[in-house]
């Protein structure tokens, strides 16, 4: 679902499977097909960076993933990174900023990780944490946070002008689904390493985070860099959606110009 005027996160259903009504095996098959298409398009994207064909030489793709803890961001990263040549994709996960990073403006560490021409960049969390967690936890004044929305829009517009397609995806899960997934991390030995006590603290602030995301959608879903909200309670369709080949499909599929 592309976020547009009048969008309300509170009115969306995390259990929906728009465009998909099959079984788990059908979802796995669709995921494999999508992954193959992304691999082919990524190769074309890289090739276009070597030869100037209709202005494609500077093209790149940035996939921004956001969502509450256990919403499936890591799974999407594995699907995207695992479906393409490792040389053609970069992955960045933005945790709590270091002292050095805090000594610069909040986009300093982000700019260093944007994808080069010909590559796909995947952000597991992103610059949006500076208007989400920072806002909810009171780590900056509301006035400072308020000024960051416009700064983010300018930054993303700059990326688009330079040839980067920006795709921003919010993986939407319900609090009950999150509770079940966090519980599984405690019960399964192969999942326990994912458990973080801080995830429980974030659950207590669920409504505040939902309000913060609503503001993000209202103020930063632009024509140049729109937000897409993906129902993520069902894992299979959610896994397919962000790796749809459409963001890169405008790249020429023909041979490089002589």
Q: What is the pLDDT of residue 40?
A: 87
Structure letter (DSSP) for residue 252: -
Q: pLDDT tens-digit profile of 123-146?
A: 999 999 999 999 999 999 999 999
Low-confidence ranges of the chain (pLDDT < 70): 19-27, 52-56, 188-198, 236-258
Compute the half-sphere exposure of residue 167: CA atoms within 13 Å on the CB side of its CA.
19
Q: How far apart are CA 174 and CA 176, in angstroms?
A: 5
User: If we measure between CA atoms, which residue out of 76, 75, 77, 83 comes closest to residue 38?
Assistant: 83
Partnered with residue 164 across adjacent β-strands are: 60
Task: Map out the domains of the chain with their CATH numbers.
Answer: 9-248 (3.40.50.300)
Q: 251 near 46, Cβ under 8 Å? A: no
* Consecutive H or E run containing 154: helix 142-161
User: If we measure between CA atoms, which residue out of 74, 72, 95, 70 comes closest to residue 175?
Assistant: 70
Chain centre to alpha carbon of residue 170: 6
User: If we measure between CA atoms, which residue out of 233, 249, 242 comes closest to residue 15?
Assistant: 233
Q: What global pTM score does this model have?
A: 0.84
Q: What is the pLDDT of residue 90?
A: 93
Compute the half-sphere exposure of residue 113: CA atoms within 13 Å on the CB side of its CA.
19
Q: What is the pLDDT of residue 253?
A: 38
Return all residues near 23 (Cβ < 8 A) that are at least 6 apart.
none
Q: 187 near 87, Cβ under 8 Å? A: no
User: If we measure between CA atoms, which residue out of 257, 206, 233 comes closest to residue 48?
Assistant: 257
Q: What is the pLDDT of residue 100?
A: 97
């Amino acid at each position: 679902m592309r976020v547009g005027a009048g969008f309300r996160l509170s009115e969306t259903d995390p259990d929906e499977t728009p465009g998909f009504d099959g079984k788990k095996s059908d979802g796995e098959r669709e995921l494999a097909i999508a992954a193959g298409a992304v691999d082919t398009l990524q190769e074309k994207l890289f090739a276009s960076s070597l030869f100037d064909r209709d202005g494609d030489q500077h093209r790149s793709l940035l996939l921004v993933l956001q969502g509450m803890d256990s919403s499936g961001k890591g799974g999407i990263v594995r699907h995207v990174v695992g479906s393409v040549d490792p040389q053609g994709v970069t992955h960045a996960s933005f945790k709590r900023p270091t002292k050095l990073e805090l000594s610069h403006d909040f986009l300093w560490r982000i700019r260093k990780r944007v994808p080069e021409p010909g590559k796909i960049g995947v952000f597991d969390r992103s610059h949006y944490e500076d208007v989400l967690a920072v806002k909810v936890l009171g780590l900056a004044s509301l006035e400072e946070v308020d000024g960051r929305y416009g700064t983010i829009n300018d930054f993303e517009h700059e990326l688009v002008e330079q040839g980067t397609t920006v795709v921003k995806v919010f993986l939407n899960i319900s609090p009950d689904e999150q509770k079940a997934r966090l519980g599984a991390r405690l019960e399964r030995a192969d999942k326990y390493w994912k458990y973080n006590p801080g995830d429980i603290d974030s659950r207590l602030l669920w409504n505040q985070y939902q309000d913060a995301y609503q503001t993000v959608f209202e103020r930063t879903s632009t024509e140049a860099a729109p937000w897409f909200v993906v129902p993520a309670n069902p894992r299979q369709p959610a896994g397919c959606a962000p790796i749809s080949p459409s963001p890169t499909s405008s790249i020429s599929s023909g041979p490089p110009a002589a």
